[in-house]
């Protein structure tokens, strides 16, 4: 009996790198490489990859390996007539990263997929090369980084888009912070007298006032901004309705010009005769640390005398209203305002200014000196003005503490015009809204 066996023809081709349209494209790009433009170095390419590479698919491991390969090249490898080929063996590269050869090959393949490299293979796929004494490559086989130069326009475009998105992200974040400050200010005006009207808005605010994290995408922040803007409009409408119905006449009186003065309500209780906002001196708060009835009484007498002295000599500011000072503040200042179930008052301004001192780098001794000479409200207005100047690059205060002391010295010679500065900030805000 005869058995027939069908033999499949063999191509005689085995081993080697499999060709593909993508591979042929990168080979053509490498052959057309004519050096980097004048003024551009291979380190500029690396910087672009680190800043914008993730926008086109680079991962941390890909960037790490690419940086390792770029550091093997020399400036003359990126000039016309040369090619930036890394000819270190695959084994040594794997040894450096403490991984297997196969893992390095996978990362190289990922870099190839995004168009960052190709290969200039030898016949047996070994990586080796020779440099001249002057440093130029005579011949080399290994990883060819020429395609990376071809990615430069794409990376530059992505980096510009990322920068614009980052600007929009920060602007949206500031807008949300401003919305939150205004919402809290409106709700704090009416929450004590009209809790039932305020409660739904407060619940809604608690739901949307989530912490803003750096990893949040811009789209999420834009949606959050729209929610806050809608809630702000609701809060404003509620206050207007209550005002039209005559319910908030008392609130309108709370915001009259008398609120802008250094009035005595701050000293209405013995618990607030002196606190951390007055001054950083230990002698000013010694009456709070009583150890016996006699020393406590003696301390309170000294404190009350100091309060009366501040009331008689403290600065008054009838030219500006409480609301004008509040509207002149930055979102950063307003975020420091205490959230209390009562109408806001100038004491809250003072508290916010005190909380802002560490952010501005103002020492408590400068704050204490300001409180002693121009009153706590005056000191708070000074801090508010200094804080606003931090957002103006051309007028940024380099030494806020020294600037505050200088304002106190001007006040001693009657040269300090705080209400004029407040009006200037309000005018600037109007111009910004107009733009």
**Cβ-contact 81, 179 below 8 angstroms:** no
Strand locations in 191-313 (E): none
pTM higher than the cut 0.85: no
Spans of the chain below 70 pLDDT: 1-16, 245-318, 429-435
pLDDT at 95: 96
C-alpha to C-alpha distance for 143 and 135, rounded to whole angstroms: 18
C-alpha to C-alpha distance for 23 and 204, rounded to whole angstroms: 56
Strand locations in 169-277 (E): none
C-alpha to C-alpha distance for 42 and 45, rounded to whole angstroms: 5
Burial class (CB in 10 A: 0-12, 13-18, 19+), 208: middle
Q: Are strands 118-120 and 128-131 parallel, antiparallel or unpaired?
A: unpaired
C-alpha to C-alpha distance for 145 and 239, rounded to whole angstroms: 65
What share of residues in the chain are helix, strand, coil (percent, to 5)? 65, 5, 30
Joined tokens for residue 135 = 């440093």
H or E segment and range at residue 129: strand 128-131
R_g of the chain, CA atoms, integer Å: 34
C-alpha to C-alpha distance for 76 and 78, rounded to whole angstroms: 5
């Amino acid at each position: 009996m005869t058995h027939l066996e069908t033999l499949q023809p063999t191509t005689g081709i085995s081993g080697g790198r499999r060709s593909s349209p993508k591979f042929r494209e990168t080979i053509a790009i490498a052959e057309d490489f004519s050096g980097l433009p004048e003024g551009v170095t291979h380190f500029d390419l690396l910087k672009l990859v680190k800043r914008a590479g993730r926008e086109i698919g680079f991962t941390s491991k890909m960037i790490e390996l690419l940086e390792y390969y770029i550091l093997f090249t020399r400036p003359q490898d990126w000039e016309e007539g040369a090619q930036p080929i890394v000819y270190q063996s695959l084994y040594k590269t794997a040894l450096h990263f403490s991984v297997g050869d196969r893992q390095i090959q996978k990362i190289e393949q990922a870099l190839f997929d995004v168009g960052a490299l190709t290969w200039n293979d030898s016949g047996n796929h070994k990586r080796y090369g020779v440099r001249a004494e002057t440093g130029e490559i005579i011949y080399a086989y290994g990883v060819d980084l020429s395609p990376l130069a071809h990615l430069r326009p794409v990376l530059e475009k992505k980096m510009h888009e990322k920068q614009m998105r980052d600007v929009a992200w920060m602007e949206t974040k500031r807008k949300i912070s401003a919305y939150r400050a205004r919402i809290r200010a409106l709700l704090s005006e009416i929450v004590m007298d009209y809790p039932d009207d305020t409660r739904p808005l407060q619940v809604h605010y608690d739901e949307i006032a989530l912490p803003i994290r750096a990893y949040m995408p811009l789209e999420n922040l834009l949606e959050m901004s729209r929610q806050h803007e809608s809630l702000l409009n609701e809060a404003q409408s509620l206050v207007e309705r209550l005002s039209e119905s005559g319910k908030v006449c008392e609130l309108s009186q709370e915001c009259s010009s008398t609120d802008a003065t250094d009035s005595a309500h701050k000293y209405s209780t013995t618990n607030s005769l002196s606190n951390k906002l007055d001054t950083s001196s230990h002698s000013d708060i010694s009456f709070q640390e009583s150890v016996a009835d006699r020393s406590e009484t003696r301390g309170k007498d000294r404190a009350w005398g100091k309060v009366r002295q501040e009331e008689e000599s403290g600065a008054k500011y009838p030219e500006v209203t409480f609301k004008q000072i509040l509207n002149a503040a930055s979102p950063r200042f307003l975020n420091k305002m205490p959230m209390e179930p009562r109408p806001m008052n100038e004491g809250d301004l003072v508290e916010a200014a005190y909380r802002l001192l560490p952010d501005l780098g103002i020492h408590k001794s400068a704050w204490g000196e300001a409180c002693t000479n121009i009153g706590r409200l005056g000191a708070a207005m000074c801090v508010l003005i200094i804080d606003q100047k931090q957002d103006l690059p051309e007028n940024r205060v380099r030494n806020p503490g020294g600037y505050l002391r200088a304002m106190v010295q001007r006040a001693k010679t009657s040269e300090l015009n705080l209400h004029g500065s407040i009006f200037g900030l309000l005018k600037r805000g109007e111009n910004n809204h107009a733009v």
